[in-house]
Every structure is written in C-alpha cells, then in structure tokens.
Chains A and B, each alone.
Chain A
Amino acid sequence: MQEFLQQLVNGITWGSIYALIALGYTMVYGILRLINFAHGDVYMVGAFVAYYAARVMGASGPVGPLAAVGILLIAMAACAGLGVVIERGAYKPLRTSPRLTALITAIGVSLLLENLGLIVFGADPKFFPQIVARKQMELVSGVIVGSHQLVVLGVAVFLMVLLQVVVFRTKIGRAMRAVSFHREAASLMGVSTDNVITFTFAVGSALAAAAGVLVALSNPKIDPLMGIMPGIKAFVAAVLGGIGNIPGAVVGGLIMGVAEVMVVGYVSSTFRDAIAFALLIIILLVKPTGLFGTGVSEKV
C-alpha cells in the first residue's frame, strides 16, 4: 500500500507534466484540427532557454523564488514567441490546404527544431542547474514527496487554473471557443480568427515551455531530442481525453503518467513505452472519441 501510494505520487507528478504538454496539443487541435507535431520540440526549446537563462544569471544551485519564477517566465515568453513564428511562418500559408499537408509541414518543423537544436545546443546532454533546493517530506508514513515534485505540481495546477480562467472568463477566451466551434461563423461575427489562432499557439507553446522547465527540475539531463517521446505521448494523452477538450487533456495526461510509473514500478521498465499506447487503443475501442470527447454526428 505504501509503495503504491509512493508510485501514485510520482505518477501524478509525471502526469501533470504530460498534461501541460497535452494542453497545447489539444488547444491547437481544437482550433485548427492540426496535430502540431512540433509541439514536443517547443517543450525541448523551453528547457534549453531556461538552462541558458539560469547560466546567464549565474545560478548553479538553488535560487530564490523570484529568480526561479523569472527563469520560468523567460522560457515561457521565448517559447510563446517561437510558437507564433512557427504558426505564422509554416502553418498560416497552409490554412486552406488539405489537412495532411499541414501535418507533414508540422513534422518538417519538428525535424527542423531538433536538428537546429543539435547544432545550436550541441548533441551532448546538458545538466540543468538545481534551481529548487532538494528537500524531502514525508506525506504519510513512508510516502515521500520531494520539494521539486511539489513545485512541479504547484506550477502545473496554477497554470491549468489560469488557462481555465483565460478560456472561460475572458474575451479572447470566448473568441477561442467561438473559433474552435466554427471558424467561418466566428469570422463572420467579427472575430479576428488569425489573431485568435496566433494567440492559441502562443499560449500552448508557453505551457509546453513550462513543462520543459518543470521536467528539467526533476530530470536534470536535457538534450535536443528530449522532446520526441514526451511529445508523442502527450499527444496520445490528449487523444485519450478526447482531443480538443481541455479537461480531457489534463485527465489524459494524469492517466498516462500514473500508468507509466505503475508499469515501471510493478512490471518492467522495458514496457514503459508500450503501456501508453496499449491503454490508448483499449480506451478508443470502447469510446472512439476519447474519454471526454463528444462525437460529431454525421450529416448526409
């Protein structure tokens, strides 16, 4: 029981990182019906921007909360910019093209970011400075939670709540929902769809950057190809929850994280990559639109 609870804590921490990446996938998909395969690489860039920001600040060990938040914000802002550049440069010219064309372009952008990363950041892994002091706390008897895990959970929950507020309580959020519901109709109602799409990319990319920084806190080894697997798994998490659905992405990410940690803990670490997909296939066979997805009825 003790071990199970420990695994659960680790799984939820890991899952909240998946959830943050999955949110970007699901928002972009909801608005453009585009699987933005470059999203996982934006997450990688986020970790590297934070790494260089920390280096410039001269941080090699724990820093104050203000500096840590500063590093996080720098990474998020840089990636929001990167997201906008990607959208304007690569996806906007293809708005009216077949969807698969945009998908291949997304794969191209992903390859471009990875290979640019290999040149700019270097192929050898870098060690992210431990900017949060490592302390361990006992939650209940025998279940230990690290300070970095608490930071990961805290930041993730805060960002998710913030996103929920932005999407459901602000004017731009209403515009986002309108565009995702029906782009042409929203455009006819005077919503500037191009701006809304750009804003969505910026928000999604900033969330991915935050996930990158949070991952670097617990697994300090970062390299230019670190985004490939988490990226694809976060996408699976988004599909699992019902792609285009924001709470679905969070739940999907948590399920995915917990399932992975449990498989590693109780079965074997070699099956880690398979469990995510096995779970996905089972869920989709039972509920073809994901857990929270609403099926679109076919019209003749």
Chain B
Amino acid sequence: MLKNAILSVVAVAVLIGVGAVLPRMVNPYLFQILILCGINITLAVSLNLINGFTGQFSIGHAGFMAIGGYTSAALTYYLGPHVLAGVAGDGAAATVAGQAFFILSLLAGGAASAVAGFLVGLPSLRLRGDYLAIVTLGFGEIIRVAILNIDAIGGARGFTDIPRYTTFFWVAFFALVTVVFVRNIMSSSHGRAFLSVREDEIAAEALGINTTNYKVMAFVIGAFFAGVAGGLFGHYLMYLHTNSFTFMKSFEVVIMVVLGGMGSITGSVIAAVILTILPEALRPVKEYRMVIYSALLIFLMIARPQGLLGMRELSLSTFRGLKLGGARKSQAGGAKRAL
C-alpha cells in the first residue's frame, strides 16, 4: 500500500519534471509526435480492454473519442470564459484555475463518452462477433454525421479556437492512469471475469458470472478513456474536425491492439508508439510513405499473427529472466495460449 503510494508520487513528480523540461528540449514537431504517442497509448490500451481482454470486437473507438473531444471542447469554449471570468489574467491563479477547469471538462467528456459506451454496449447482449463489430462501426459513423450537422460545435467547418490546455504532463498522466487502471482491473477478480467472457461465454455464465454486466462494463470503461483521449487531442490541436474521427481512425486503434497482441497491455503501448512514429519516420520517402507503411503492416501480421507480444506482458522480470534464460519457458507457454 505504502509502496504503491510512494511509487505514484514519484511517477507524478517525474512526469511534472519531464513535462516542464521537454517542450524546451525538443522541437515542436517531435513534441507533437510525443503528444500523439501518449494519446494513442490511451486509446489503444482502453480499446484492448474491450477487444483484447473481453473479446468484444469493437471498431467504433473513434466515435467515443469524438464524443469526448467535442464535449470537453464545447465546455472549455462556451462555459470556460464564464467560469474563469473571475480569475482572468496571466497570473498563476489563472493558470491553475484554467487547468482545473480543463481536467473537469476532460472528465465530463469521458463521462459523456461512457454513457455512449453504455448505449453501444447494450446491443452486445444480442449481437456477437462481426455483427457487433459492424454495429460499433455504424455507431461511430452516425456520431460523425451527427456532429457534422451540429452548427454550434463547428459542423462541417470544424470546431476552431479551442483553448490549448493540453500539456505533456496531462497526456502522459492519463496514458499512465489508463495503463495502471487496466492492469489493476485485469489482475483483480473482475479481470478474470472479463477474460472468461472472451474465452467461453457459456462456461462463464454457467459459473455465475454476469456476462452482460461485464461486456457493458468493458464498453463503458473503454469509452471513458477514449473520451478523455479525445479531449486531450482537441485541446492540443486547438481544432477539431470530424475528418479526424472516421472509421479509419477506429481501424488505426484496432491495428494497434492487434499488432501489439490482443490482451497485452505493454504490447498495445509498444504498438501505439511504433504506429505513431512509423508514418512520421517514413516521411523522407514522400509518396511511397503510406505504401511502405501498409506493406509493412501486412508483412508484420503474416510474420507474427499473434501480434508482437501475443498475450504476454513485458516487465522488468522478463528482462531479468532473459538474462537467466528462464524466459524461454514462459514464452513457450504464452505462445501456446495465444493459439
């Protein structure tokens, strides 16, 4: 207990330190890639809870991201000036109040997303596999078209002049919170319930697990973090457009989850980082960039069908084990389970 508390304090302190130094150390382009890495980690790990751990195939994550992004942006844009009117100025008080209001609107965006996640999770009582997938895809597209038709949040023009509140600290903080939250829930009895829904729904039900409950819960939690990620995204770019939330974005997140390994948190993190950096790293080859990207994707999937990490997790002990040669056994076990 105490150890965890100390660890959290240290982690937050390190993040604040890095967040303060980093913008001065790297150029804005690299900085933006780092921010996007963090946002994509949040997205990939939260989707992994739905797709990887609970086995509910969802390709509507961009829809949840859009709801969270637009909700929190609408709050800071319309409500922000009124709430923060008393502490206007450049002082420290204004900064703190602004950041506090930002976090509240991020959480509100996450909550709005979670409600949507609940609504999308409900059909999963009746629908399975690909049918559920296509409903989540349809939901994402309906959200996109709906936003396109709401003029108050920009409609087809896009939502402009969103205040820039997102800092490296908040991006890294929420990425960390998502990872720790999903890790903790997966190592609890709830986590085993999620896994049992994926492995065999009927057997899980026979053992008295309320599978409906867990499926909807996975959607609600996953959607919440996707909504927060959307809020971070909007308050970083200061601009939101529905073109950022097409089904291609949902596919992108699904690719991260599958490439990292379904049901591996560290796998999702690694894949999110790789897939964010790869298109940027390929910029020198100009128009062949996306051709190489997609060819690499096909090659990676054929070379490692179970994803980069399969179902294993990377941890410090993995590296220690590698040195002793003991990891081979656990690797073999992991590979067998992945099949």
Q: Is the interface of A mostly helix, strand, loop or mixed?
A: helix
Among B126, B133, B259, B295, contact of A288 (Cβ-Cβ < 8 Å): B126
- Is B15 positioned at the interface, with any CB of A under 8 Å from its CB? no
CA distance A103 to B142 in the complex (A): 23
Q: Does B255 contact A (CB under 8 A)?
A: yes
Interface centre among A107, A114, A280, by most chain B C-beta atoms within 10 angstroms, is: A107
Q: Are B288 and A119 in contact (CB under 8 A)?
A: yes
Q: Which residues of B contact A116 (CB under 8 A)?
A: 291
Q: Which residues of A, 50-86, contact B by the 8 Å Cβ criterion? A: none
- In this complex, the member of A94, A118, A273, A284 whose beta carbon has the largest number of chain B beta carbons within 10 angstroms is A284
Binds B, one of A152-160, A170-178, A235-243: A235-243
> Which chain B residues border A115 with CB–CB below 8 Å?
290-291, 293-294
- Binary interface encoding of chain B residues 94-135 relative to chain A, with 1 for a CB under 8 A from any of its CBs, else 0: 000000000000000000000000000001001110110111
Q: How far is the CA of A232 from the CA of B307 in the complex (A)?
A: 25
Assess whether B131 is in contact with A289, with CB atoms less than 8 Å apart: yes
Task: Kindly name the residue among B128, B258, B302 whose own CB sees the greatest number of chain A CB atoms within 10 A.
Answer: B302
**Of B23-31, B144-152, B162-170, which stretch is located at the interface?**
B144-152
Please report whether the interface of chain B is mostly helix, strand, loop or mixed according to DSSP: helix
When distances are taken between beta carbons in the complex, the residues of chain B under 8 Å from A111 are 290, 293-294, 297
Q: Which of B130, B138, B142, B298 contacts A112 (CB 8 A)?
A: B298
Give CA–CA (A93, B130) in the complex, Å.
Answer: 22
Q: Cβ of B144: which chain A residues have Cβ within 8 Å of it? A: 273
**What number of B residues sit within 8 Å (CB to CB) of A?**
45
Give A145-188 interface residues, CB cut-off 8 Å to B. none
Given contacts A111-B294, A236-B134, A280-B138, contact A94 B301 (CB under 8 A): yes
CB distance from A138 to the nearest CB of B (A): 35
Contacts of B133 in A (CB 8 A): 35
Bound-state CA distance A281–B128 (Å) is 13
> Which chain B residues border A112 with CB–CB below 8 Å?
291, 294-295, 298
- The complex places the Cα of A146 from the Cα of B243 at a distance, in Å, of 35
B254 within 8 A of A: yes
Q: Is B53 in contact with chain A by the CB < 8 A criterion?
A: no
Chain B residues whose CB sits within 8 angstroms of the CB of A103 once the complex forms: 258
B258 contacts which chain A residues (CB < 8 A)?
Answer: 100-101, 103-104
Supposing A97-B305, A98-B262, A111-B290 touch, asked if A273 and B149 sit within 8 A by C-beta, the answer is: no
The residues of B that contact A108 with a CB separation of less than 8 Å are 294-295, 297-298, 301
Given contact pairs A112-B291, A274-B146, A298-B202, A105 touches B134 in the complex (Cβ within 8 A): no
Question: Which single member of B138, B141, B302, B306 contacts A105 (CB below 8 Å)?
Answer: B302
Asked whether B57 is an interface residue with its Cβ less than 8 Å from the other chain, the reply is yes
Contact of A104 among B126, B127, B134, B297 (CB under 8 A): B297
A22 to B134 alpha-carbon distance, docked (Å): 14
Return chain A residues, CB-CB under 8 Å to B255.
104, 107
Contact B138 A118 (CB under 8 A): no
Which B274-296 residues have C-beta < 8 A from chain A? 287-288, 290-291, 293-295
Residues of A within 8 A of B214 (CB): none
Chain A residue with minimal CB distance to B138?
A277
Report B's interface with A, CB cutoff 8 A: 51, 57, 123, 126-128, 130-131, 133-135, 137-139, 141-142, 144-146, 148-149, 156, 202, 247, 251, 254-255, 258-259, 262, 287-288, 290-291, 293-295, 297-298, 301-302, 305-307, 338
Besides A115-B290, A285-B126, A288-B127, 18 new A-B residue pairs in contact (Cβ under 8 A), listed by A number: A35-B133, A100-B258, A101-B301, A104-B258, A104-B297, A104-B301, A112-B291, A112-B298, A119-B291, A273-B144, A274-B146, A276-B138, A280-B135, A280-B138, A281-B138, A284-B123, A285-B123, A300-B202
The 8 closest A-B pairs by CB, nearest first: A277-B138, A97-B305, A111-B294, A274-B145, A108-B297, A112-B294, A115-B290, A108-B298
Q: List 17 A-B contacts (CB under 8 A).
A: A90-B298, A93-B302, A98-B338, A100-B258, A100-B262, A104-B301, A107-B255, A111-B290, A116-B291, A119-B287, A235-B134, A270-B145, A284-B127, A288-B126, A288-B131, A290-B131, A298-B202
